[in-house]
Structure 1
Amino acid sequence: KSYIKKVVELMLAILLAALESEADKQKFTDIYEQYHPQMEQTALRILKNQHDAEDAVQNTFMQIIRHFEKIDEIPCEKLPFWIVCIVKNEAVTILRKNQRTVQLETWDSFAADAESVTDYLELVQLFSRLPETYRAVLEMRLLLGYTGKEIARHLALSESAVNTRIFRGRALLREIAEKEAFYA
C-alpha cells in the first residue's frame, strides 16, 4: 500500500475509535468515503496548500464526530452543504492562523494573499444574505461545480426551475453586491 493510503486508513481508524456503535462507525465511514474528495478540493481552493487542505479536512471530520448526533437531523440533500460549510470554516480558520504567523520576509506575498481572503469572506457574507432557495442552487453551481441537471436531481426540482433560481439568484446577488458596495 502507498504511504498516503496507510495514513488515510490510520486517520480513519483513529476517527472511528471516537464513535461507540457499529452503526455510527459504518455511517461515518460512508460519509468519509463519499465526501472526502469533495472536501479536499474545497479546502485546497481556499488554502492553495495540500498539507493545510488535509488538515482542514481532518479538522472537519473531527467536527463531524463532535456533532455526530446531528447527522440524523440533517436531510440527505442538505448533508453535503453542511459538510462543505464546516470545511470552509476550518480552511478559513487555518488561513487566518497562517496569516498571523507570517514571517516578515514574506510580508509582500502575504499582503497580496490577504486581499483574496477578504474578498472570499465578503463573498461568503453576500451569499449568506440570499434567501435559502437561491443560496442552495448558487452554492451547488458556483462553489461545488454541479450542473443544472445534478442540482435538479439533488433538490428534487425540474432543471428549468433550477435554471430560473440560478438566474434570479445571480441577479439578487448582483443587487446585494451593488448595495453593499462589494465591487466598484
Structure 2
Amino acid sequence: MLIALAFVHNKKSRSQLEVLYRDHASAMYKVAYRILKDEHLAEDAVQEAFINIARNLDKTMGTECNKPRALCVIIVRNSAINIYRRRKKQYSVAAEEIEEHISEPGPSVEDIILGNEAFTRVTELIKELPPAYADILSLKLYYHYNDEEIARVLNITHGSVRTRLHRARKSLLKLLSQEQEGRHHE
C-alpha cells in the first residue's frame, strides 16, 4: 500500500485510496489467491492493482464510477493473471492476435446497446462472456475508459486492448444474434 500512496500527491486522494484499500483489499486478495494459489503472489497482485488504481484514481473515484468494488476486482484479477503468465513465461503477445485494425461491418456494440431497450439483458449477456472479454467491455462501456486507460489499468499493450475489444464485441454480437434467432423460432 505504501508504494501506491507514493503515486498520490494530495491528502484527499490519499484518503480515498485508503478507503478503497480498507473496503476492498480483502476481496481483492481472495480473487488473486484463487488465481495464483500463493499468498505472496496474491499480495503482489493486490499491490500491483493498487498501484494501477492510484495512477488512475481520478477515474476510479470519479463520478462515473458507481461500483468501485467491481472495478477493483477487475483490476486485481488482471494483475493476478499477468503475474501468473509471467511465472509461466507465457506473457508475450502472439503476433496473430494483433492482426486486426479494420473496422467491422455492421453496427457496433455501442450502437446495439444504445438502441436496445433491454439494456439489462445485454448486461446479462456480457456476464456470460469469458472474464477477459467481460472485463474489457465493462471498462469500455460502463466506466467509459479509453483504450490507453484500459491498457494501463489491465497492464497490457494498446494492441492487446484493441484485439480483446474486437473479439469481445464479436462474441457479444454472436450471443445477441443467437438470442434473437431463438425469439424468431418461438
TM-score in terms of structure 2 length: 0.48
TM-score in terms of structure 1 length: 0.49
Using CA pairs under 8 Å that are at least 6 residues apart, name the structure with larger relative contact order, 1 or 2. Answer: 2
